[in-house]
């Protein structure tokens, strides 16, 4: 199997700097949550539901200075081609959860909501690479829908290195065969809120991979912004009538 052909085509026919189909929706669960979103990044599908800011159940969860963000991730048994039962306390998931919580504590204006908790529930329905990126984008949109103040969008994308060529937005097959990093870009800037690299990547190539990742992140931000504006206009039109 050839991951990157000499003609410059990847296994799914994309070029090195092309994203997969990215679709998103916000306010998908208006009756059961304060903010919700659904994103499809290629074949990765994630539902995000945000509750809060609300009073925490336990006293110990409340922080007098800022809001607490709690993220719970459920990966459905049927999300991969081969069905697999997953435990809630799987190490990888716990780490993913910690990474996300740290990212969003910095990106949300937590100081505005002291003594509260923001509960984020993630359901992964299908996964085909870019799991962390998908979840991050879904949370960003969910928080926006819940009306929680954020400094800017956190748009996330994965990028990998094939030999010397950086590739954008990897699917499962590519992810399994090359070193991958996931970044979360803050708005239109070149600042990163999140960077996760679980294997080796040569230092001299890092810059090119980051550059393509940031460019991809900006594109994702635009797509998300489009959806937020579309939904905003829809709501506005209802108010005027």
Partner 1 sequence: MNVTDRRRLLGPSNAKSANIPETRTSSPSKRSEDEIRKMFLKTGLVGNANGSAYLEVDDTIIEVSVFGPRPIKGSFIDRASFSVECKFLPHIPQPNEETFKNQSGSASNVRTGLTTVEQKLSSYIETAFLHSIILEKYPKSTIDVFVTIISADTTSSSNKSLLNLCNWVSNCTSLALVDSGIEVKDMVTSGQVSLNKSTNKILMDPDYSNNYSEDDSVDCVCSYMNMLNDVVVGFWIDGNQDDLDEQTMQKLFENCNGMSKKIRSNFNSYLRGTIE
Partner 2 sequence: MILSPAERSYLYDSLIQKPPIRPDSRSGHQFRPLEAKTAFLPSSNGSARIRLMDGSECIVSVKAKVVLKSQESSLIECDIDVSGNRDDSNFVSILKFNLTNLLCQNFPMDVLQLTSKYSYKLFIDCLVISHTSYPLTLLSLATYLALKTTRLPLLVSDVDDSEVEEQPTFSDDWDKSKYLKEMVSSNSKFQPPIFITLGVVGDNLLFDPSTEEEQVLENGLILSWYNNKVITPISNINLASNSNNSNFKGMDPILISKSLALLKKYCGEIVDALDGIIEHDDATEGGIF
Report in angstroms the alpha-carbon separations of 20 from 13, 41, 42: 10, 6, 5
Stretch that binds partner 1, among 41-49, 79-87, 109-117, 118-126 (CB under 8 A): 79-87
Q: Which of partner 1, partner 2, none interacts with 47 (beta carbon under 5 to 8 A by kind)?
A: partner 2
Find the shortest distance in angstroms from Cβ 184 to partner 1.
30
Can you list the pairs that 20-23 forms with residues at least 24 positions away whose Cβ atoms lie under 8 Å?
20/169, 20/171, 22/220, 22/223
Is 88 a binding residue for partner 1 by CB under 8 A? The answer is: no
Q: For the window 36-65, what string marks contact with partner 2 as x by the rule CB under 8 A? A: --x-x--x-x-x-x----------------
Cα first-last separation, the chain: 57
Residue 83 within binding range of partner 1, rule CB under 8 A: yes
* Closer Cβ to partner 1, 85 or 200, answer by number: 85
136 near partner 2, judged by CB under 8 A: no
Q: Where are the alpha helices (DSSP H) in 40-166?
A: 91-107, 131-145
DSSP string, 71-102: EEEEE-TTSSSS-----TT-HHHHHHHHHHHH
To the nearest 10°, report the CA torsion of 118, 124, 127, 131: 10
Q: State in angstroms the smallest separation of the CB of 94 from partner 1.
A: 15
Q: Can you give the length of the chain in residues? A: 241
Q: Using CB under 8 A, pick the residue from 7, 13, 32, 240 that binds partner 2.
A: 32
User: Which of the listed partners (partner 1, partner 2, none) does 62 bind, with a CB threshold of 5 to 8 Å by partner kind?
Assistant: none
Binding site for partner 1 (CB under 8 A): 77, 83-87
């Amino acid at each position: 199997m050839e991951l990157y052909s000499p003609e410059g085509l990847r296994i799914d026919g994309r070029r090195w700097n092309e994203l997969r189909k990215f679709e998103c929706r916000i306010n998908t669960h208006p009756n059961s949550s304060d903010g919700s979103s659904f994103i499809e990044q290629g074949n990765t599908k994630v539902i995000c539901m945000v509750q809060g800011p609300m009073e925490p159940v336990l006293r110990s969860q409340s922080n007098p200075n800022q809001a607490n963000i709690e993220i719970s991730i459920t990966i459905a048994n049927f999300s991969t081609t081969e069905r697999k039962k997953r435990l809630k306390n799987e190490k990888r998931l716990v780490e993913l959860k910690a990474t996300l919580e740290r990212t969003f504590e910095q990106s949300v204006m937590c100081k505005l909501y002291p003594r509260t908790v923001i509960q984020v529930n993630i359901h992964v329905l299908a996964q085909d690479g870019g799991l962390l990126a998908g979840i991050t984008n879904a949370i960003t949109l969910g928080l926006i829908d819940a009306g929680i103040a954020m400094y800017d969008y956190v748009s996330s994308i994965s990028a990998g290195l094939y030999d010397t060529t950086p590739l954008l937005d990897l699917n499962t097959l590519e992810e399994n065969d090359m070193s991958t990093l996931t970044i979360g870009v803050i708005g239109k800037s070149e600042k990163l809120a999140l960077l996760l690299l679980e294997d080796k990547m040569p230092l001299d190539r890092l810059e090119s991979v980051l550059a393509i990742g940031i460019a991809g992140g900006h594109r994702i931000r635009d797509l998300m912004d489009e959806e937020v504006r579309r939904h905003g206009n829809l709501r506005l039109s209802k108010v005027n009538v």
